[in-house]
């Protein structure tokens, strides 16, 4: 609840973007509509709009990332902002203190926004609590808590293909327990009114509290995929394998890997999504990942427009005015 407060200003507009949980449906729709407008910028000769000219955005990545960092950087550049990319390998000692010192230093360089990825849940929230009032913070993934811009770009991709949310069946397959992506997707799907959200995976990778998330749990992928409109595959985080949570990659693929015959159980026009990076032959067969129902690369493209929308909405909040004409 507290996070919900901190990411909105006194008039209910986005000040930070830390989690989807607690946001209003209209806010999500506004983000999707704004992103729709930004999606044409990529087709201009000059792939830029002057909206954030003169603003400085710092990408603060404490955890490696290719897609997310690159699309955040491109989004900022297409908005004409200046971007700094900072990759930090953390020392575990006195993390809180050194982090705050680092923030003060960046603030002294007159920056306007931090885009933060951190391996600790709640890191972006912590930073948002401590930044100067004019600075916005965007969560680019914190621990196993949230990855809200990924959640929104997935909603954008779904809306482009399915138009409405209120009649959809969406299945999320794989390691739900450790996935910040799944958590953000589930929040967004619930807020946007998707009536049937299914999570599919082995018992060890489904959170015990899944029932409270407003989802239906399936352990049998064949039952779970029946007649769904959207299949979202999650990356099997190989590092989890050693924790004896799973027998082997091969066996996982047999049980939960998305193959053409399993996908055939979904609706014929179902789309297949994956936040990347994909493990071919572990959670998804190459023929499905590269097949006609896959929208995996579209998700990457859509990530730019969604991040442009969220950056400009958080930095563009200003005294409310009804003045429309220029």
Contact residues for other proteins, defined by CB under 8 A: 13, 30-31, 33-34, 36-41, 44-46, 48-51, 312-313, 316-321, 323, 325-326
Helices of type H across 49-165:
67-78, 95-107, 123-130, 148-162
Q: At closest approach, how far in Å is the CB of 29 from other proteins?
A: 8
- Least Å distance, CB 81 to other proteins, is 12
- Determine the distance from the C-alpha atom of residue 295 to the mean position of all C-alpha atoms in its chain, rounded to a whole number: 16
Q: How many contiguous H segments (helices) and E segments (strands) does the chain have?
A: 12, 9
Q: Which is nearer to other proteins, 11 or 97 (CB)?
A: 11
Please, which residue, 192 or 228, has the CB nearer to other proteins?
Answer: 192
Q: Nearest distance from residue 11's CB to other proteins, in Å?
A: 10
| Residue with smaller CB distance to other proteins, 159 or 178 | 159
For other proteins, the closer CB: 22 or 316: 316
Q: How far is CA 163 from the centre of its chain?
A: 20
Structure tokens at 284: 């998804």
Q: How far is the CB of 296 from other proteins (least distance, A)?
A: 24
Instruction: Pick the closer one to other proteins by CB: 16 or 183.
Output: 16
Residue 285 beta carbon to other proteins: minimum distance, rounded to whole angstroms: 36
User: CB under 8 Å to 240, separation ≥6 — which residues?
Assistant: 175, 178, 205, 246
- Round to whole Å and give the CA distance between 89 and 137: 20
Q: Beta strand 113-118 with 196-200: parallel, antiparallel or unpaired?
A: unpaired
SS3 per-residue string spanning 172-190? EECCCCCCHHHHHHHHHHH
| Distance in Å, CB of 45 to other proteins, minimum | 5
Q: Which is nearer to other proteins, 179 or 314 (CB)?
A: 314
Q: Compute the distance between CA of residue 91 and CA of residue 126 in angstroms, rounded to an integer.
A: 17
Minimum separation from the CB atom of position 306 to other proteins (A): 13
Query: Other C-beta atoms within 10 Å of 197: how many?
Result: 20
For other proteins, the closer of residues 83 and 177 by Cβ is 83
Distance, CA of 63 to CA of 293 (rounded, Å):
31
């Amino acid at each position: 609840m507290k996070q919900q407060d901190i990411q909105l200003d006194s008039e209910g507009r986005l000040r930070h973007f830390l989690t989807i949980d607690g946001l209003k449906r209209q806010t999500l729709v506004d983000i999707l509509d704004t992103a729709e407008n930004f999606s044409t910028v990529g087709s201009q000769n000059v792939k830029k709009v002057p909206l954030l000219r003169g603003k400085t955005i710092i990408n603060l990545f404490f955890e490696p990332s290719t897609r997310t960092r690159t699309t955040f950087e491109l989004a900022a550049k297409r908005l004409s902002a200046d971007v700094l990319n900072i990759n930090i390998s953390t020392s575990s000692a006195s993390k809180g203190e050194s982090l705050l010192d680092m923030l003060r230093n960046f603030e002294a360089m007159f920056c306007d926004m931090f885009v933060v990825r951190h391996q600790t849940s709640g890191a972006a929230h912590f930073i948002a609590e401590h930044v100067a009032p004019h600075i916005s913070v965007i969560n680019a993934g914190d621990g196993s808590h949230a990855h809200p811009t990924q959640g929104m770009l997935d909603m954008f991709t779904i809306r482009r293909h399915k138009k409405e949310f209120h009649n959809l069946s969406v299945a999320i397959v794989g390691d739900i327990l450790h996935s910040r992506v799944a958590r953000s997707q589930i929040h967004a799907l619930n807020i946007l009114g998707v009536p049937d959200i299914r999570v599919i995976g082995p018992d060890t990778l489904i959170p015990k509290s899944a029932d409270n998330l407003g989802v239906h749990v399936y352990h049998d992928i064949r039952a779970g995929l029946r007649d769904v409109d959207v299949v979202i595959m999650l990356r099997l985080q190989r590092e989890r394998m050693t924790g004896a949570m799973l027998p082997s990659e091969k066996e996982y693929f047999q049980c939960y890997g998305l193959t053409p015959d399993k996908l055939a159980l979904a609706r014929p026009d179902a789309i297949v999504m994956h936040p990347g990076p994909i493990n071919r032959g572990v959670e998804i067969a190459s023929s499905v990942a590269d097949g006609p129902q896959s929208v995996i690369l579209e998700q990457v493209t859509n990530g730019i427009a969604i991040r442009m929308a969220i950056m400009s909405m958080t930095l563009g909040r200003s005294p409310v005015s009804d003045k429309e004409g220029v």
